Amino acid sequence: MSENISLTDLGPELWILVYHLYDKHKSDPDVAFRELTLRTRCVCSSEDLLIARSPSSLLNTQWYREMNTRYRDLRRRLKESQRVVLEEAEVVTRSLYPAGCVAKEYADALQTCAAMLTVSVPSQALARFTEYRVQELASLDVATVTVEELVDDLIERPVLDALTPSQWWTFDTDGNGSVSLNIIGLRARPAQIDILYTRSEKKWRCRIHLDGILHETGPTAPIARRLARTHGALLSEERFRTCLVHLQSLMKHAVEDGDIGHSSNSTMKDCHYGREYPQKQQQKEQASALASAIELDRRRDRTQKPLNALNKADVGLLYRDPEAALDNVDLNDADDVTLQEFKAKMEEKFLEKVVRPGDSGYEYDKRVEVKPTERSEWDDSD
């Protein structure tokens, strides 16, 4: 039986990037694949370009084989460096479910075990995996899950996924798609950064349009952070921030001098550039995408959790920070193990605060006059 392989085997984040690039450059898959190999630090071979016409065809490319090897090596290194965390996951699972569980209790079992760990497992990622796994068990008519299978599922997916760094391919230094930086060009009007680099013995240019995004006195950190996420193969976040600050200075001088444009390096026009996206379309798409991403980051920073929002019962948090775990907790969907743990902790907190006869501050038949702050129909007499 052949192994069922998928892009999701390399992590959902890379899978999202692949589909984003092929949707962004749907009219030119060559551009999509070139950008994909650049971002993932892989070689863009001519053979792969003939194959990589869509996301599904990537499974037959050298790029996929290289990324698969790098991903497996990364997970192996994580297992070695995070051995204590993985051993904890196994001990917790075996202690809570020594005989395994029935298939219909699988989701609750995995979520309970994950909640008991010191490492934080994102609830959405855990929910996605358990939903997929429950469907798989149902399709195979599996009635029970052994404790060994529970341990393996918990470690290989939710725990290791939580330990895997975001954009893991940028932290991996084993990629073969080396890039040699040639020139960084800055232009004030319209605001843009031109990055000239050599890759696979060819010279390329990456033009980043910032008109309407970068302002003379505006903040540069959010823009630099976003640029580093999309163009980190070329420049680091710190380098981008330096360029943005310098570009702001050029923009101020351009306003004062009345220049139409100003570039920090005039030799850029002498370089041979590879195939590019149409300039107006590229400028519009880059500016729109970058502006949307920056605004999203700002909204996230301003967003605060509503005061009356219910918190999901988290056993792990209950042991790390009982006050936070008990704050407005919702136990309606909690399983029996979680419910008992929370009830025990609530009882413990109650006994700590209860005042008994003979204790300091104890008052028999204490009465308090309550002054209502607003009118209530419940208090009206007939």
* Residue 147 forms part of a structural domain: yes
CA distance 156 to 79: 10
Rounded to two decimals, the pTM is 0.55
Task: Provide the residue range defining the domain that includes 40.
Answer: 12-168
Residue 278: predicted pLDDT: 42
Report CA torsion sign: 328, 330, 334, 340: positive
Residue of higher predicted confidence among 55 and 313? 55
* Residue 327 forms part of a structural domain: no
**pLDDT band for position 256 (50/70/90)?**
low
Q: Is residue 336's pLDDT more than 60?
A: yes
Count of structural domains within the chain: 2
**pLDDT band for position 379 (50/70/90)?**
low
* Residue 281 forms part of a structural domain: no
- Please indicate, yes or no, whether residues 39 and 185 belong to a single structural domain of this protein: no
For the segment 337-359, the average pLDDT, to the nearest whole number, is 77
* pLDDT tens track for 194-218: 988 887 677 888 888 898 889 888 8
- Please indicate, yes or no, whether residues 125 and 265 belong to a single structural domain of this protein: no
- Please indicate, yes or no, whether residues 155 and 32 belong to a single structural domain of this protein: yes
Q: How high is the mean pLDDT of the chain?
A: 78
Residue 116: predicted pLDDT: 92
- Please indicate, yes or no, whether residues 22 and 107 belong to a single structural domain of this protein: yes
| DSSP of 241-300 | HHHHHHHHHHHHHHHHHT-S--BS-GGGGGS-------HHHHHHHHHHHHHHHHHHHHHH
- Please indicate, yes or no, whether residues 147 and 197 belong to a single structural domain of this protein: no
- Please indicate, yes or no, whether residues 93 and 225 belong to a single structural domain of this protein: no
Q: Count CB atoms within 10 A of the CB of residue 371.
A: 4
Short-list 74, 89, 106, CA closest to 9: 74
Short-list 135, 124, 164, 134, CA closest to 14: 164
* Residue 125 forms part of a structural domain: yes
Q: Which range among 24-38, 98-112, 293-307 shows the weakest confidence by mean pLDDT? A: 293-307
The alpha carbon of 338 is separated from its chain's Cα centroid by a whole number of angstroms, namely: 27
Residue 173: predicted pLDDT: 52
- Enumerate the β-bridge partners of residue 119: none
Residue of higher predicted confidence among 115 and 360? 115
* pLDDT tens track for 81-131: 999 999 999 999 999 999 999 999 999 999 999 999 988 898 888 988 999
Residue 374: predicted pLDDT: 67
Tell me which of 168, 201, 220 is where a domain ends.
Answer: 168
Q: Helices marked H in the chain — which ranges? A: 12-24, 29-39, 46-51, 62-81, 83-96, 106-115, 123-139, 147-154, 160-163, 168-171, 221-231, 237-257, 279-302, 315-320, 322-326, 336-353
Residue 204: predicted pLDDT: 81
CA atoms within 13 A on the CB side of 44: 22
- Please indicate, yes or no, whether residues 26 and 94 belong to a single structural domain of this protein: yes
**pLDDT band for position 159 (50/70/90)?**
very high
Q: Is residue 33's pLDDT more than 70?
A: yes
CA distance 315 to 240: 42
Tell me which of 109, 144, 168 is where a domain ends.
Answer: 168
- Please indicate, yes or no, whether residues 155 and 190 belong to a single structural domain of this protein: no
- Please indicate, yes or no, whether residues 18 and 141 belong to a single structural domain of this protein: yes
Q: Count CB atoms within 10 A of the CB of residue 223.
A: 22
Q: Is residue 142's pLDDT more than 60?
A: yes
Q: Is residue 366's pLDDT more than 90?
A: no
- The DSSP 8-state label assigned to residue 53 in this structure reads S
Residue 359: predicted pLDDT: 75
Residue 344: predicted pLDDT: 80
